[in-house]
Structure 1
Amino acid sequence: MKTSKFYISLLFFILLPLFFHFENLKADTVICMPDCFNDSFKIQSPLTVQFQLGPCRYVADFYIRKACGIWCDILLWRVRALDSNCNNYDPKTMCDIAEAQIIHHLINDYNQKGTNSIWYRITRTEICRPTSPGECTYFWRVSKATCWKFYLNPDWGRYPIYWGAYSYCLYDYCCLTWYKVCMDQLGQILVTQVESQTEHDCPTQSGMEDCIQVCD
């Protein structure tokens, strides 16, 4: 769904060192900022969260910022599959799973460590979180590229660091997803996707056949 609700600013200025390079996989991070342009993502190095689905292990690479003093923003860069034959999920499903995992991790880490948490050490601000049962916060957002696909690691045999990665196809289009985060009566954190919007649909030209739109 196209929208004029937000304007995405794209900045391309980081090249991260890799042990190997994907064929046709950009190592540059696409920076999607919907607003609050004075509050940059901290892109010196990506943060990581590891999670497991069945026998498959994944690592989500992302950046964070506190935007306009109210938004807890995540920039999702890629999701790496550490094990072989672990690309059974489509890119949209994988993004949704990874985003919920990241939010859970950041809030739990903040609850346990406070000012020593990842969130506070990077942003020097309080995290968006419910503090009592039944309470919710609506200030979590995830920015990312609109079009994603799965890329195999061509050097898996020599450098089996990870088998492949879900990542973006284009620099040009970005999208934004809003999340509701609540605390249930047992004190557990519940993460629910509320809405997602993109400024452009994925193009259909040659070479984009495997690219999937990850926002509505």
Structure 2
Amino acid sequence: MTVRVLIVEDEEFLADAIRTRLAMDAIAADIVGDGDAALEAAAINDYDVVLLDRDIPGTHGDDVCRTLAADPESPAILMLTAAGSLDDRVGGLELGADDYLSKPFEFPELIARLRALNRRSFTSLPPVLERRGVRLDPFRREVTVGGRFVTLARKEFAVLELLLQAQGGVVSAETILEKAWDENANPFTNSVKVTISNLRRKLGDPSIISTVAGVGYAITEESDND
């Protein structure tokens, strides 16, 4: 599923490396370097998962975890730490973390855990999304249309995933921008419109993506081209 992540990590090189690797899988991520900034960012933005380093400046990672976990509307928490003992893992989970990953880690495992955490909030959705002849596998990063493989850019993949997740519901341009881009995205940009246009072209005719005027975009059972 499309995932927007908050990376809470004070090691700048590692944080940048994680964000770069996530971007390769069409996962948008923001970075903060301390606990106070983490709580502020989580209160402002709609994140799906917080990748939380346990030992960070300011408000300690344990307290950040405890505060976020107390809110039933908070994002999932994947705690990240160099301490990998059983007691450390149990302690992190008892604080309210949803999962725990020790440093050093392999990026494929990190991405799989992030997607698994996000999928829990979409319990009615299967791992592979299908609608109107389009099949999207988020783990293999594959899209087929009527059995034909289609190559999509990262943002195109992320937007298509969001539309398929909605199961026929309308997704606003604002939601697409928030989920598929990061906090640096210009809210007045036409990136969403351009990406939708590119998706329609690559998925072929007749277009399965309809525009609901003044509302957003949808993949319905009988979608009309706009």
Shorter-chain TM-score tier:
under 0.3
The higher relative CO (CA closer than 8 Å, separation ≥ 6) is in 1
Structure 1-normalised TM-score?
0.27
Please identify the structure whose Cα radius of gyration is greater: 2
Structure 2-normalised TM-score?
0.26
Larger helix proportion, structure 1 or 2?
2
